[in-house]
Structure 1
């Protein structure tokens, strides 16, 4: 043959702007497609020079052609490895034997080509016969038993592929059936010459028939002759073996780690499905674990609803593919489930589909696998539903749990002009439907004299804690909007019921280890972390405004005569304007703050912070004493310093620990 491209060990040849040297033959990882590891040398200076590459050679009308169609549809999708080059070659000779001959003697040679996701068609006599890819392969034959593969490999001749020299007879289905029966009868006579004359009698004996079936042998037969010798060649980089999904699956991982791996894989499957494609099998050694995960092979992806004339087999294929059913979303869900099964159980699904799948009794994961791997495709999750369930399940497997210790105390103080305690406060803890711990705490300082201030603060606290918690409280924006709605409702209650009065209101919302605040007035919220104290709210008062503008000094602000004049309070206007309620965005771009173990939150009225400095607060709570003891000590300091106003302090300590 002239002008044929020979691909074998150490063969060198160019593809586009790359010069390749074959290092090893990886096998037929997908039916009819040959995979090679190559050295890459770019004719143009590039980062890929000297790296390892993956060369795939197959029919111009088969799986590689489908992959090109899908890549064009996906564009520069981050989870798909970049295609470096592609070309069509008229004449190719594949010689994998040369690759095996040079394999180091101290290591086991690579196994013969393993066909994954391989098509098969039903034969009248033997049930299932393997066939090539969509375009077929001119020399692809049915494979004998595994024990006979290695001798065949040793005598294997180079696979020659050339359109001008390939001719195949056309036969009808009936002729193929008759030919298969005749050939198998001939084989039977060769293997069992003594039983040929009395074969009908032997067939009636179950024991004899059983023994015969175990020794049955079928010669190789061409199944899917190729009508075109053109070969498509695709070149990508090759993932490092230590960073592949295949290596990851061989190691032991926690359930949460397994879910974290499967989630982006499911996300990729869903992305393809949204573009009317179904991925129904994977090659773990050609999936790179990283950020993001990258797929290097898409030959097991098919257009939605496409129907093949043959079935597909693979380690992660849904069983209904064996019947050549049209490609559906449920098949992709099965593949995701099969990968999750392997990650959890460290083994592949059993190939015998008549066996009942044994699943570890892990709550939530058990149900996910049971439904994903259902024998009834209609029972399986949609990919979008599966993705959301995987995310929720991983969240429930989080290794941290948040608990809160709460301590509080309030005093009317020593002032003869304040006989009523106008401060109010409250705390509410509960577990949300998704398993997160929620805490809601608030302090209000009423004003207006007589009983008006007391009523205003009580109404504000009552309104906050009577509001139902909405089901949609998953995002920070939803949580922030809900807090603002609490303030609007509290303001409405105070405005309607209290004349010439009002109240401050400071609220914290903790969901899991995320903190949000909402605040109006001059009560304060502090965070004490690692013995350092930070004020999370600003004082809505005339003194604070003068201090911020530089009109007075900090020392002057401590005993300013107008310290009781507020610039913001609930009850001062019928409806609060946008931005009236302060949140954490006043100090940073984020609306929430991530809490750490042993963080302490303090909510206190001005009767506390006006007499106990920030430094004293931090010093008191860093002591190794119970939280309530520290709160009691602070109130005693207030009384010792005159307690000319009502004083209230609410302390919340965040305890984050590993879940069992």
Structure 2
């Protein structure tokens, strides 16, 4: 639309027409800014003095299909967008802030906006002495270009506007969408930490970001902000109060901008992500906070109406990071019980076992580690005893490398440890061999290595699962479908081994079983209360798995459960050596 203005020449008295262009911004309108072609798709709403539009943008009219989603914002010169541009110049190229594609000022702008407001809006409460007329005229429908009668342009349409163009994140990828879903505490803390990191950096440049808009924050590593209109210089006082979803309550009363206001913003976001709602300050009472250790302290302090009680941003960021680390890597304690008996028919014990626990320290974490092994020797009285003892000693004396950072690396090291034990047995025990069942847990991650017919069980929530495979003739017949499971339990070949240590100097890779059949990552994540059982065939042959589950779920100590198991083995004749090792996992509360 074109407007004309008139003026009178000082010497001739002639009327001179001055033509000015009016930029009309409304849905379905196309226009250009710098090198960008912009098509307005929808009006998103208004917050303070800024109008928000969802647009499609590209650099060429010839390629409309290449258009991308964009965010167009229109505001007053010297207002929120001007502050944002000043802050952006101070921050420089910062990875948590989206780029501005174009910045332009226009002398005449008309906004056709309807009555929409941003879902999470910020309302200015104007003080009596700060009332201003709205400087953007609102048109109800598109106005065609026309020539008006010459007259002086006055009022709202003559005000200059600043226009900012940036990309717009897809709605499903925004913090607003993320907040509608339930997430683990670790994720909530991670997001709050990233937001806190940005607010701290902004504060270090002498600015306070006291209001955020989740619909203009893109999730990712790290999150990225597309709108900084909620930022004000430190110490500045507003002529109006501000009320917003994340604004601290005192900002509505004109208090000077300070660091503790930013801490409130971060905590309000954390509260929302955990409680699925924003803090509610009805009747001036502090919102109800879930009794989660550490998180409760953070929220109760930083949501306090008393600013002095809130943590500074440096301290708040440290608390958020530490709490997340504690949640992600809870401390694990192991309770151990074991018993090995010769039984009632043999004079020597060819079974051996070992348990070793230590704390593994790396640059960024400390994990409790436990290594346990059971071996059942064979090849005659002395040879079987020596074979099992050598295998266990080799495993127990091995130094664990400190640079095993991935589960795959740990699994390969475990396999090499079994190969080493096999070489020792093969070299030093002629015509002898042994089974070997090994569990290794670092933190809550469990890995196993197994060969033979000793067994590894996992007991969880009163249910028992056999993690190891029986490398026996009966198990092979069962796997091929020649016999049923019930028949395999009575088959006379159930103790005839198809694989063992010492049978050859180099084991084939597929001889050593890991957890790949349960998880492609070769590990299982342990839970609080899990019990691992390692036992020789002298135990499981007389006390079946369901009975073991019954014994170990009674309210007694772990050692008592082990003793009850051995008592039943002996009561049922115990024709073989019998060994059982029980490990109970206690995940300590992070508080």
What is the TM-score when the length of structure 1 is the normalising length?
A: 0.55
1:500 lines up with 2:431 in the alignment: yes
- Does 2:29 match 1:14? yes
SS of equivalent to 1:528: strand
**Does structure 2 retain, via aligned residues, the 8 Å contact 1:13–1:21?**
no
- Structural mapping, 1:197-212, within 5 Å: none
Distance 1:609 1:22 in 2: 68
- Where do residues 236-275 of structure 1 align in structure 2 (5 Å cutoff)? 236=168, 259-261=189-191
Q: Which residue of 2 aligns with 1:469?
A: 400
Correspondence list, 1:442-521, <5 A: 442-521=373-452
Partners of 1:559 and 1:548 lie apart in 2 by 15
Please, which of 8, 13, 21 is the counterpart of residue 3 of structure 1? 21
Is contact 2:407-2:522 (8 Å) kept? yes
291-300 or 498-507, larger mean C-alpha shift: 291-300
* CA distance in 2 between partners of 1:575 and 1:266 (Å): 55
Equivalenced residues, count? 446
Say whether the 8 Å CA contact 1:422–1:453 is kept in structure 2: yes
Q: Distance in 2 between matches of 1:20 and 1:90?
A: 21
1:110 corresponds in structure 2 to: 124
Question: Does the 8 Å CA contact 1:23/1:39 hold for their aligned counterparts?
Answer: no
* 2:410 counterpart SS class: helix
| Deviation of the 1:587 alpha carbon | 3.7
Contact kept, 8 Å, 2:70 with 2:166, in 1: the verdict is no
Q: CA deviation at 1:397?
A: 4.8
* Pick aligned residue for 1:297 from 189, 202, 226: 226
Distance 1:41 1:398, change over 3 A: closer
Partner of residue 24, structure 1:
46
Distance 2:548 2:383 in 1: 30
Contact 1:399 1:658 in 2 (8 A): no
Displacement after TM superposition at 1:580 (Å) = 2.4
Q: 1:422: how far off? A: 0.7
Aligned to 1:285: 212
**Alpha carbons 1:12, 1:22 under 8 Å: kept:** no
Alignment-derived partner of residue 655 in structure 1: 586
Identify the residue that residue 544 of structure 1 maps to in structure 2. 475
Match of 1:423 among 341, 351, 354: 351
SS of alignment partner, residue 212 of structure 2: helix
Q: Deviations over 1:39-86 (max 9, x none)?
A: 8899xxxxxxxx997625699xx998x99xxxxx99xx9x99899xx8
Write the deviation string for residues 108-151 of structure 1: whole angstroms up to 9, x where unpaired: 95279xxxxxxxxxxxxxxxxxxxxxxxxxxxxxxxxxxxx985
Superposition pairs of residues 113-512 of structure 1, within 5 angstroms: 151=129, 154=132, 233-234=165-166, 236=168, 259-261=189-191, 285-287=212-214, 292=220, 294-297=223-226, 346=302, 394-398=324-328, 400-415=330-345, 418-433=346-361, 434-512=365-443
What is the rounded CA distance, in whole Å, between the counterparts of 1:409 and 1:602 in structure 2? 12
Deviation at residue 611 of structure 1 after TM alignment = 1.5
Contact 1:476–1:592 (CA under 8 A) maintained in structure 2: yes
Aligned pair partner of 2:463 in 515, 522, 532: 532
Query: Which secondary structure state, in structure 2, belongs to the residue aligned with residue 451 of structure 1?
Result: helix
Quote the offset at 1:597 in angstroms: 2.5
Instruction: State how far apart, in whole Å, the 2-side matches of 1:291 and 1:583 are.
Output: 37
Determine the C-alpha separation between the residues in 1 that align with 2:161 and 2:211: 29
Distance 1:261 1:426 in 2: 44
Matching of residue 623 in structure 1 with residue 516 in structure 2: no
In structure 2, the CA distance between the partners of 1:341 and 1:562, relative to structure 1 (3 Å rule), is same
User: 2:109·2:161 contact (CA, 8 Å) conserved in 1?
Assistant: no
Compared CA separation, residues 41 and 477, structure 1 to 2 (3 A):
closer
1:610–1:451 Cα change, 3 Å:
same
Per-residue deviation, residues 293-342 of structure 1 (Å, max 9, x unmatched): 75342789xxxxxxxxxxx99669xxxxxxxxxxxxxxxxxx9xx98996
| Distance in 2 of aligned mates of 1:499 and 1:525 | 27
Mapped contact 2:73–2:163 kept (Cα < 8 A): no
Native 8 Å contact 1:57 1:234 kept in 2 = no
- Residue 421 of structure 1: CA displacement? 0.4
Q: Gaps spanning 5+ residues in structure 1: where?
A: 28-34, 43-50, 68-72, 113-148, 160-227, 249-253, 270-279, 301-311, 317-334, 348-356, 371-389
